[in-house]
Copies of this chain bind each other. A is one copy, B any other.
Amino acid sequence: MHTHQHQQHPARPAPPGARPPRTLARDLAGLPEGSLARIAGWVHRRRALARLTFVVVRDRTGLAQVVVREPEALAALAGLPEETVVEVTGTVRLDPAAPGGAELVEPTFEALTEPATPPPVELWRPTFGAGLPTHLDHAAVTLRHPRHRAAWQLASASTAGFRSALGALDFTEIATPKLVGTATESGANVFTVDYFGRTAYLAQSPQLYKQMLVGVFERVFEVGPVFRAEPHDTVRHLAQYTSLDAELGFVRDHRDVLAVLREVLAGMVEAVRRDAADAVRLLEVDLPVVPEQLPVVHFSEALAIVGADPDEPDLSPAHERALGEWALAEHGSDFLAVEGYPMGKRPFYTHPQPDDPQWSNSFDLLFRGLELTTGGQRLHRPSDYAAALERTGTDPALLAGYLDAFAHGMPPHGGFAIGLERWVARLTRVENVREVTLFPRDLHRLTP
């Protein structure tokens, strides 16, 4: 696939064997007019006109246009179908009309691999022209579509923002076991693993470990996979997703946790704005404004707002959507925290509301009408754990290593977890979290 080198520019013959260094697409317009440049990437599109062919080359920074008029180079293009990886050496022509303000002319092509098989979907079309199953079946290729790439760039920048916001608040990053001996947080929806002949479980969250580590570092966070054996096929559940977890000690109550969550969300939005600007533009993401104070309503108040029965034990997705609209209308906020969920619906480690223990010091944060985050204050006194385990019928022996932390002194603490895929789905306003997950796993899908 090596096309022969020919004279690049009469005034500046390339010395034999010398090649200019690689220039990234985003930097092409910064080179001097007439200079020799080399780009490298995937043949994104070939567009043949009567007397010339445009070749668009895609690299990690964007697209670069190559103008081909020479018969030899035009002939070489026949062997370089879309997605073939190439190096193109040519002369820089600055042109405000070209995409990015510059193009390469008088090119020579060198293929870095064999001619590519045509992808199942034309990746150069601005809209991805196939359904979700085609995308997911061929993810290794279809993720290259600029819109799919961009969605993940939002995720990647969000994660970095999560970490830097918490790092600035003195949080320590942790890594907790994903293989656990007991499925105590919830007996249902847990994957079992053959662990050297014993049964182990995949961790549904780092909850118990992040609490224990509050005893060590006071403030901890983890970004990692969590596993749910979700038996239902819904647009918002995955068998594996990325959980952005934080937990901190020495809080007065869940409102201190919410204040940290507010800082984290602001950091995530800011990181997306700064580090994924191209993706924001391409996907026309309407970045939320994070209010200085997240608006908060009590669970009982939330039921009243949506006109639900005051004895409802939980909020339905329809309730959440209605509350999202209410928050936007009433507070001009894309976010709404609902605090005080009934204790009966919350896990055993949940701290009750001190003045009325039927309610809890926990919250859900709704983002544009979808639950994004669950959090709250946890119990911290060993006697409260003893009572909670008795109430829920849990054998304390199964939690011995965890209960150790409380017996040996734990501060009042709380935390939250953000589902990364849900966050990006809401940012991009897609229904199905699979659209913004690199290689989703669910009831039906274990490949690629």
Quote the shortest CB–CB distance from A45 to chain B (angstroms). 13
Cross-chain contact A177 with B112 (CB below 8 angstroms): no
Q: Classify the interface of chain A: helix, strand, loop or mixed.
A: mixed
A147 within 8 A of B: no
Quote the shortest CB–CB distance from A140 to chain B (angstroms). 4
Cross-chain contact B85 with A409 (CB below 8 angstroms): yes
Cross-chain contact A179 with B401 (CB below 8 angstroms): no
Quote the shortest CB–CB distance from A443 to chain B (angstroms). 6
Q: Mask for A189-221, Cβ within 8 A of B = 1, else 0? A: 001111110101010000001001101111100
With contacts A60-B218, A160-B167, A174-B156 taken as known, whether A213 is within 8 angstroms of B438 at the C-beta atoms is yes
Number of copies: 2
Shortest 8 CB-CB distances between A and B: which pairs? Answer: A401-B448, A116-B409, A60-B218, A83-B409, A140-B405, A181-B446, A140-B212, A117-B407
Binding site for B on A (CB under 8 A): 22, 40, 42-43, 59-61, 83-85, 112-114, 116-117, 119, 137-141, 143-144, 148-149, 152-153, 155-156, 159-160, 163, 167, 170, 172-182, 191-196, 198, 200, 202, 209, 212-213, 215-219, 223-225, 227, 229, 231, 239-240, 242, 250, 380-383, 400-402, 404-412, 420, 438-439, 441, 443, 446-448
Q: Can you name 22 A-B pairs with beta carbons within 8 Å?
A: A40-B411, A43-B409, A83-B409, A85-B380, A85-B411, A112-B380, A113-B380, A113-B406, A117-B407, A117-B408, A140-B401, A140-B402, A143-B212, A143-B213, A152-B172, A153-B172, A156-B174, A175-B420, A178-B227, A181-B446, A181-B447, A191-B195
